[in-house]
Amino acid sequence: MAAERTLSIIKPDAVAKNVIGQIYARFEAAGLKIIAARMTHLSKNEAEQFYAVHKDRPFFKDLVDFMVSGPVMIQVLEGENAIAKNRELMGATDPKKAEKGTIRADFADSIDANAVHGSDAPEAATIEIACFFPALSIYSR
Ligand code: UDP
C-alpha cells in the first residue's frame, strides 16, 4: 500500500505539559515519519477556519478559545495507514473513554483539552495539510 499522510496537531495543553518529545516517540515507534513540522500560535481566525466543520456545534467557541490559548506543534505524519494509525495512537476524543496507553489516556485532561488532533479521513488530511504546509516544505523520504 502506498504511504499515506495525515495532519497531526499537538494541542496547547500537551505543549504546556512539555510532552512533545514523548508524543513524537510514539509516532516513530509506530512507524510514522515526521515529514514536516512547525510550532505556531494559532490566531482566532486560523483556529475558526481549521475547525469550520464544527462551527454549529455547541462546543465550537470553547474549542477555538482553547486552540488559541498557547502554542501548538503541527506536523505531517507519513506511513502505511497513517490516518488510522495516528487515530489509534491518539485514542478516543474523551480521554476518560480512551484506551490505556493511548496519547489521550496518558496526557489529556478532558474532552476539550485532549492533547492532540489527527485527520479522520483522506480528504480531510489533504485539506488540513494544505492549511499549514506548502508542498515544498514537506520532506517525504
Ligand atoms: N470537542 C469538545 N467537546 C465535545 C466534542 C469535541 O470540546 O463534546 C473538541 C475536542 O477538542 C475534539 C474536537 O472538538 O478533539 C474535534 O471533535 P471531533 O469530534 O472531530 O474529535 P476528534 O476527531 O478530535 O477525536
113-135 pLDDT per residue, tens: 999 999 999 999 999 999 999 99
Which of the following is catalytic: 5, 26, 85, 117? Answer: 117
Please give the full DSSP string across the chain, using - where no structure is assigned: ---EEEEEEE-HHHHHTT-HHHHHHHHHHTT-EEEEEEEE---HHHHHHHTGGGTTSTTHHHHHHHHTSS-EEEEEEEETTHHHHHHHHH--SSTTTSPTTSHHHHH--SSSS-SEEE--SHHHHHHHHHHH--GGG----
Q: Is 103 in the pocket of ligand 1 (CB under 6 A)?
A: no
Name the residue at shortest CA distance from atom 10 of ligand 1. Answer: 112
132 assigned to a ligand binding site: no
Domains of the chain, first to last: 4-137 (3.30.70.141)
76-105 pLDDT per residue, tens: 999 999 999 999 999 999 999 999 999 999
Is 54 an active-site residue? no
Q: What is the ipTM of this complex?
A: 0.97
